[in-house]
C-alpha cells in the first residue's frame, strides 16, 4: 500500500495547536501517511501578501486529502477559495451525542449534508439602485442531482452500519416556489433510484424546530447552502457545541477535513483548545481514505476519553490540548 499523501494546513490561532495534536492521534493508528505541510491564513498573508499561496494550492491538489485547522481574518480568502478550487460540493457535518458531553439527548446521531457551491452563497449580490440591494439564489438541476446522490449514498453506507437508512430534505418550496420547487422535485426524482432508503421532506423552519424536539429520528439531512449553514450550527449546539463539531468537504476528486470552529483568537496560544473537533475531522478523513478500522479505533478511544472526563477546560477537564490528544492516542495504540 502506498502512503496516503495528506496536505496539512495548520493555519492560524488554535489551528497551530489542534492540528498537530490530532496528527499525533492519526499517527498512533499505524496507518501509513505522508504529511505535506503548507501555509495559509493571516500569518502567511502578513509575511507575503498572500493568504493562500500558489504553492499551497498545488500541494492541496496533489494530495489525497487536505487536513485543515483554521484561518483568522483571511478565512474567506482561504477556506472558501480552497473549497472552490478543490470542487468540494458536499459539506458534511455529523451531529452525534457522545457520553460525558452535555447534549440535548443521548441518542442523537445524524449527518447534515449541505450543498456547498450555489444557493444564496453564489456571491451574486448587487445594489441595483440607491438603497435597493439584491442577492441571487442559484439552484441548478446539476448541483441538486449531485448533492442528493451524495446524501442517498451516505444513507446507504450508514444503513450497512445499522442506521435507519433515511434521507430528510429540508427546503422552503412553499415560498421559494421556483428555486426550492426544483430542489424538492429533483430530490424525489433521485429518491426513485434508491428504493431501499426512506425519504421525507420538511420546510426548513419546521426542520429547525425538529432538530431540537425530535433530533433522534434523523439519519441523513440534506439541504441547500445557506439553510445548511444555519441548521448545522444549531445542530452542533445540541451535542456540545463548537469544540466538538467536525466537518468534511467532499467532491469527486478531493476531500478537505476541518473543525467547524475558527481560529479562536481569544484562547490561541494558551494550549487549552479542545482538540476533539479536529480529531473527529481526522476520523472523517480516515473513512474517506477507506481506513475504516483506524477510524473506528480513534472514535472509540475518543469516546472513552470523553466519558472519563479526560478533557480540556471547556468540557470541565484539567488537561491541555496535547494531553487530551495523548489520552486518545494512547488508547488507539493499545
Ligand atoms: P474566527 O474568526 O477564526 O472564526 P472566532 O473569534 O469566531 O474566530 P471561533 O473559533 O469561531 O472564534 O470560536 C468561537 C468561540 O468558541 C470562541 O470563544 C472560542 O474560544 C470558542 N472555541 C472555538 N473552538 C474551540 C475549541 N476547539 N476549544 C475550546 N473553545 C473553542
Ligand atoms: Mg467563528
CATH code where residue 37 lies = 3.40.718.10
Asked if residue 157 and residue 173 are part of one domain, the reply reads yes
297 is catalytic: no
- Co-location of 192 and 231 in the same domain: yes
Of the residues 221, 238, 255, which one is the last residue of a structural domain?
238
Q: Rounded to an integer, what distance in angstroms lies between the CA atom of residue 34 and that of residue 295? A: 17
Residue 282's contacts (CB-CB under 8 Å, 6 or more residues apart) are 22, 23, 25, 26, 67, 257, 298
In terms of domains, do 224 and 178 share one? Answer: yes
Q: Which protein residue has the closest C-alpha to ligand 1 atom 20?
A: 264
Ligand nearest to the CA of 18: 1
Surface-to-core class of residue 210, CB atoms within 10 Å of its CB (0-12 exposed, 13-18 middle, 19+ buried): middle
Q: Ligand 1 atom 2: the closest Cα is on which residue? A: 72
What CA–CA distance (Å, rounded) separates 225 from 229? 6
**Phi/psi at 201 (nearest 5 deg)?**
-140, 150
Q: Which of 334, 280, 271, 273 is nearest to 302 (CA)?
A: 280
Residues with CB under 6 A from ligand 1: 14, 18, 70, 72, 242-243, 261-267, 273-274, 277, 314
Active site residue 172: yes
Hey, what long-range contacts does 319-324 have (CB within 8 A, 24 or more apart)?
320/271, 320/272, 321/14, 321/17, 321/18, 321/21, 321/271, 321/272, 321/273, 321/274, 321/275, 322/17, 322/20, 322/21, 322/24, 322/271, 324/21, 324/274, 324/275, 324/276
Q: Which of 121, 184, 201, 288 is catalytic?
A: 121
Residues 66 and 125 in one domain: no
Q: How many domains does the chain have?
A: 2
Helices and strands in the chain, H and E counts: 12, 12
By CB neighbour count within 10 A (0-12 exposed, 13-18 middle, 19+ buried), where does 269 fall? exposed
Nearest atom within ligand 1 for CA of residue 73: 2
For 23, the domain range is 1-98+243-334
If one residue of 9, 10, 12, 264 were mutated to test the ligand 1 pocket, choosing by the most ligand atoms within 8 A of its CB, it would be 264
For the chain, the helix, strand and coil percentages under 3-state DSSP, each to the nearest 5:
45, 20, 35
pLDDT value of position 251: 97
pTM for the full predicted model: 0.94
Q: Which ligand is nearest to the CA of 79?
A: 1
Q: Indicate which residue's Cα is closest to atom 31 of ligand 1.
A: 243
Q: Which of 32, 106, 107, 205 is catalytic?
A: 205
3-state secondary structure of 329: helix
Residue 80's pLDDT is what? 86
Q: Are residues 222 and 153 in the same domain?
A: yes
Distance 101 CA to ligand 1 centre (A): 18
The per-residue pLDDT string of the chain (334 residues; one tens digit each, 9 = 90 and over) reads: 689 999 999 999 999 999 999 999 999 999 999 999 999 999 999 999 999 999 999 999 999 999 999 999 999 899 989 999 999 999 999 999 999 999 999 999 999 999 999 999 888 999 999 999 999 999 999 999 999 999 999 999 999 999 999 999 999 999 999 999 999 999 999 999 999 999 999 999 999 999 999 999 999 999 999 999 999 999 999 999 989 999 999 999 999 999 999 999 999 999 999 999 999 999 999 999 999 999 999 999 999 999 999 999 999 999 999 999 999 999 999 8
- ipTM computed for the complex: 0.95
Q: Using the 3D structure, point to which of 218, 238, 258 is the last residue of a domain.
A: 238
107 is catalytic: no
Mark whether 134 and 181 lie in a shared domain: yes
Task: Tell me whether residue 77 is one of the annotated catalytic residues.
Answer: no
- 250 and 213 in a single domain? The answer is no
Single out the residue in 238, 255, 282 at which a domain terminates: 238
Same domain, 168 and 183: yes
**In terms of C-beta density within 10 A (0-12 exposed, 13-18 middle, 19 or more buried), how is residue 177 classed?**
exposed
The continuous run of DSSP H or E covering 271 comes out as: none
Annotation says 229 is catalytic: yes
Asked if 260 and 223 sit in the same domain, the reply is: no
- Do both 120 and 234 map to the same domain? yes
Residues 123 and 219 in one domain: yes
Mutate which of 72, 75, 261, 272 for ligand 1 pocket (most atoms within 8 A of beta carbon)? 261
88-119 pLDDT tens trace: 999 999 999 999 999 999 999 999 999 999 99
Which candidate, 214, 258, 314, places its Cα nearest to that of 78?
258
Contact 93, 112 (CB under 8 A): yes
121 and 15, same domain (yes or no): no
Cell numbers representing residue 4 in the block: 496516503
The active-site residue out of 64, 233, 296, 314 is 233
Element (H, E) at 154: helix 141-160
Amino acid at each position: 500500500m502506498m502512503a496516503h499523501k495528506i496536505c496539512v494546513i495548520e493555519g492560524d490561532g488554535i489551528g497551530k495547536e489542534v492540528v498537530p495534536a490530532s496528527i499525533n492521534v492519526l499517527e498512533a493508528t499505524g496507518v501509513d501517511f505522508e504529511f505535506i505541510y503548507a501555509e495559509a491564513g493571516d500569518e502567511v498573508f502578513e509575511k507575503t501578501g498572500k493568504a493562500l499561496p500558489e504553492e499551497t494550492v498545488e500541494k492541496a491538489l496533489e494530495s489525497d486529502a487536505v487536513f485543515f485547522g483554521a484561518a483568522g481574518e483571511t478565512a474567506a480568502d482561504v477556506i472558501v477559495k480552497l473549497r472552490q478550487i478543490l470542487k468540494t460540493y458536499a459539506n458534511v457535518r455529523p451531529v452525534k451525542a457522545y457520553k460525558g458531553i452535555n447534549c440535548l439527548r443521548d441518542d442523537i446521531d445524524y449527518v447534515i449534508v449541505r450543498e456547498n457551491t450555489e444557493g444564496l452563497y453564489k456571491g451574486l449580490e448587487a445594489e441595483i439602485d440607491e438603497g435597493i440591494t439584491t442577492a441571487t439564489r442559484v439552484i441548478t438541476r446539476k448541483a441538486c442531482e449531485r448533492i442528493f446522490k451524495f446524501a442517498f449514498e451516505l444513507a446507504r453506507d450508514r444503513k450497512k452500519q445499522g442506521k435507519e437508512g433515511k434521507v430528510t430534505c429540508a427546503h422552503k418550496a412553499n415560498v421559494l416556489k421556483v428555486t426550492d420547487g426544483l430542489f424538492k422535485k429533483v430530490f424525489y426524482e433521485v429518491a426513485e433510484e434508491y428504493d431501499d432508503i426512506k425519504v421525507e421532506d420538511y420546510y426548513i423552519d419546521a426542520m429547525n424546530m425538529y432538530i431540537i424536539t425530535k433530533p433522534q429520528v434523523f439519519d441523513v439531512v440534506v439541504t441547500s447552502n445557506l439553510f445548511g449553514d444555519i441548521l448545522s450550527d444549531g445542530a452542533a449546539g445540541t451535542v456540545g457545541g463548537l469544540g466538538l463539531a467536525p466537518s468534511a468537504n467532499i467532491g469527486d476528486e478531493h476531500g478537505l477535513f476541518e473543525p467547524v470552529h475558527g481560529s479562536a483568537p481569544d484562547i490561541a496560544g494558551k494550549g487549552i483548545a479542545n482538540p476533539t473537533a479536529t480529531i473527529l475531522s481526522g476520523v472523517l478523513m480516515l473513512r474517506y481514505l477507506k481506513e475504516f478500522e483506524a477510524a473506528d479505533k480513534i472514535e472509540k478511544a475518543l469516546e472513552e476519553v470523553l466519558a472519563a472526563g479526560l478533557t480540556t477546560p471547556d468540557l470541565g477537564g484539567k488537561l491541555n490540548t496535547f494531553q487530551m490528544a495523548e489520552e486518545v492516542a494512547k488508547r488507539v495504540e493499545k
